[in-house]
């Protein structure tokens, strides 16, 4: 007699058919390899010359990536933003590859979740001057959680950032930069009143911190649900 496979929720620890503990992988909600077009992303910039377009100059995988050009700084930014299908109320991940060309480029990674009239902003910020990672807290201020973080700008090096948040509990969980994991357990996001429909988006923003325009490249963006 063959037993039915055990019922499970993806991403949680279960017992397999042998009674052994196993962890199932998260589910992909949406992904983009930047090979076809960038029209699915919203692009915003706060000065002349800021652009975002597909490029064959650099790529993490495949032939293309998104090339993001900031306006001439300082403190000038260009971002790409994508509204995705609403993930389940679970632990959700936003992963993206990126490459910097200048040591004075600040970077922001955002998960915005609007639910039942409240907007939750989960933001990780790389402070290039301080070599620090910071998160946006409930009061709208950036708090450092990692120091001595240096992002190389070699010709071939892409970095990987993954931010995981708990949409059900409305908390940060952790982020992983390259091979280093940083706990953000218990940290609260910024909250604000939001009267539009429920929605979810991811965002990558590059900011020039000197008096020049900066380039950054992004590739392989993935949104997952049921993270462990």
pLDDT tens for 123-144 read 999 999 999 999 999 999 999 9
Residue 211 has pLDDT above 90, yes or no: yes
Can you tell me the distance from the alpha carbon of 173 to that of 186, in angstroms, rounded to the nearest whole number? 7
- Give the pLDDT of residue 10: 58
- Give the pLDDT of residue 129: 94
Average pLDDT for 172-197 = 95
Instruction: Tell me the β-bridge partners of 136.
Output: 142
pTM over 0.85: yes
Residue 50 covered by a domain: yes
- Give the pLDDT of residue 4: 39
Q: Are strands 142-146 and 159-166 parallel, antiparallel or unpaired?
A: unpaired
Q: What angle do CA 176, 115, 200 make, to 5 degrees?
A: 50
Residue 7 has pLDDT above 50, yes or no: no
Residue 192 covered by a domain: yes
Sign of CA dihedral 64, 70, 75, 77: negative
Mean of pLDDT over the chain: 91
Q: Any idea what the CATH number is for the domain that residue 102 is in?
A: 2.60.120.200
Residue 63 covered by a domain: yes
Give percent of the chain above pLDDT 70.
Answer: 89
Q: Which domain holds residue 106?
A: 25-225
Q: What is the pLDDT of residues 143-175, one digit of tens each?
A: 999 999 988 887 678 999 999 999 999 999 999
Q: What is the pLDDT of residues 29-42, one digit of tens each?
A: 999 999 999 999 99
Residue 209 covered by a domain: yes
Residue 15 has pLDDT above 60, yes or no: no
Domain count for the chain, please give it. Answer: 1
Q: Which of 3-12, 21-30, 199-208 has maximum average pLDDT? A: 199-208
Q: How many alpha carbons fall within 13 Å on the CB side of residue 82? A: 21
Average pLDDT for 89-116 = 96
Query: By the 8 A CB rule, do 82 and 94 touch?
Result: no
Residue 153 covered by a domain: yes
């Amino acid at each position: 007699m063959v037993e039915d496979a055990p019922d499970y929720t993806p991403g949680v620890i279960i017992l397999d058919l042998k009674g052994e503990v196993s962890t199932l992988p998260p589910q992909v909600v949406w992904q983009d390899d930047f090979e076809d077009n960038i029209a699915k992303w919203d692009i915003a910039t706060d000065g002349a010359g800021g652009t975002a377009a597909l490029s064959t100059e650099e790529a993490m995988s495949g032939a293309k990536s998104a090339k993001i050009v900031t306006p001439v700084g300082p403190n000038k930014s260009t971002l790409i933003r994508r509204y995705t299908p609403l993930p389940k109320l679970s632990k959700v991940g936003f992963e993206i590859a990126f490459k910097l060309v200048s040591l004075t480029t600040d970077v922001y990674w955002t998960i915005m979740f609007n639910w039942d009239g409240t907007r939750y902003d989960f933001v990780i910020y790389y402070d290039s001057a301080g070599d620090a990672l910071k998160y946006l807290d409930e009061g709208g201020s950036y708090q450092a959680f990692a120091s001595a973080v240096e992002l190389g700008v070699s010709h071939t090096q892409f970095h990987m950032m993954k931010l995981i948040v708990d949409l059900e509990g409305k908390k940060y969980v952790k982020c992983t930069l390259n091979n280093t994991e940083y706990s953000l357990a218990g940290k609260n996001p910024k909250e604000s009143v939001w009267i539009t429909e429920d929605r979810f988006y991811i965002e990558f923003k590059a900011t020039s911190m000197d008096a020049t325009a900066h380039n950054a490249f992004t590739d392989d963006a993935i949104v997952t649900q049921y993270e462990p």
